[in-house]
Amino acid sequence: MTAVPTDSASPSRDRILAVATDLFAKRGYGATSTRAIGDAAGLNIATVAYHVGGKEELYREVMRLAHVAQRDAVVAALETLTACDPTPEATRTAMHGFVDAYLSFCLRHPEVPTLWMRRWLAEGEDLAAIEEEFAGPLVAQVAEQVRATLDRAGLTHEVDVEMLVYSIVWTTHSFTRAGFIDASGKRQDPSSLEMMDRFRAHLHHLVDGAIGADEHSHQD
């Protein structure tokens, strides 16, 4: 698992955070102890505590770094989206590019969707401020800018933009972590180029259906 980049100048702290990210993603918050993190990093508990504090502080820092990596990728994709020409066709194409960028991010950093999916299962629920500080504002920013972009092109015909954003997040996180089970009962690997192309096309159809892009293009 490739850990999200850190902003630390300390190799020991970076190693602790990388290991903690891996273990929190694989085992979850409740099943991961600071001792296990220290052992995996080759450091004692005192050293772990010196660099990152207790388990709660360490988990929060892991989630913060995951959020920063996610936010930076999303904001960059939003900048490209909002710069598109204000026509239905250009906006539709830009929306496809936006979801493609998010899919690529999740495939490059599988630990990020895994960490968030574990929180969806109410892990570390006593740390609800993580959603309030990180996830909530980012979703609000995405919804606001997506709606403004769709408005310019006349494509927001009663679309629930926030629900569309979450639908993209839910399906992308699930696909990039688990693929899917086909009709024969075989699990299809999300890293397969064929499966990625199939899922990407599905995301495009999801977006088009939600914003009415196909319908609008037929009317033009």
What average pLDDT does this structure show over 28-35? Answer: 93
What is the structure's pLDDT at 150?
A: 95
* Residues 40, 76: Cα–Cα separation, whole Å: 34
* 3-class DSSP state of 119: helix
Please check the confidence at residue 157 and state whether its pLDDT lies above 60. Answer: yes
In a 3-state reduction of DSSP, which class is residue 170? helix
What percent of the chain shows pLDDT beyond 70?
89
Tens of pLDDT, residues 176-212: 998 888 889 999 888 889 999 999 999 999 999 999 8
Q: Is the pLDDT of residue 59 over 50?
A: yes
Determine how many CB atoms are found less than 10 A away from the CB of residue 150: 25
- The residue among 42, 54, 32, 57 whose CA lies nearest residue 12 is 42
Looking at residue 205, what is its pLDDT?
96
CB distance 37 to 20 below 8 Å: yes
Q: How far apart are CA 1 and CA 62, in angstroms?
A: 14
**Residue type, position 90, single letter:** A
How many residues are present in the chain?
A: 220
- List the structure tokens of 98: 């936006």
Whether residue 7 has pLDDT greater than 60:
no
Helices (H), the chain: 11-27, 34-41, 45-52, 55-82, 88-108, 111-120, 129-130, 136-152, 161-178, 193-211, 213-219
Structural domains of the chain sorted by starting position, each given as residue range(s) with its CATH number in brackets: 62-219 (1.10.357)
Percent of the chain predicted with pLDDT > 90: 73
Q: What pLDDT, in 10s, does the model give residues 66-113? A: 999 999 999 999 999 999 999 999 999 999 999 999 999 999 999 999
